Amino acid sequence: MDKHWAYCSACDRQVEVAVKPAGRLDPATGEQVDALVCLEVGHTCTGALCPITDATPEVMRGALKDLRAEQPDSNAEE
């Protein structure tokens, strides 16, 4: 999993995010592009809309679940 740190204005601190290759469609071009997935949603997230990904917590939880399912050891917490 390709992990990075990003500043979250909702939490007012750095949070860990992962890059999901070809994880979303670019609305302007319709091409598959990389997507960011917040790894801290549900743990410390208190916002109704993610300022990093512009997604609701429900959408981000789904993306995180999908990302973890794609990992070789999907039961492992990273």
Kindly write down the DSSP assignment for every residue of 23-76, as one continuous string.
EEE-TTT--EEEEEEETTTTTT---SS-TTT---HHHHHHHHHHHHHHSTTTTS
Is the pLDDT confidence value at 77 over 90? no
What number of other Cβ atoms are within 10 A of residue 55's Cβ?
Answer: 19
Task: Look over the chain and give the mean of its residue pLDDT values, rounded to a whole number.
Answer: 78
Q: Which pLDDT value is given to residue 7?
A: 92
- Domain spans in the chain, listed from the N-terminal domain onward: 2-70
More confident residue, 4 or 34: 4
Percent share of the chain, pLDDT over 70:
77
More confident residue, 38 or 43: 38
Is the pLDDT confidence value at 78 over 50? no
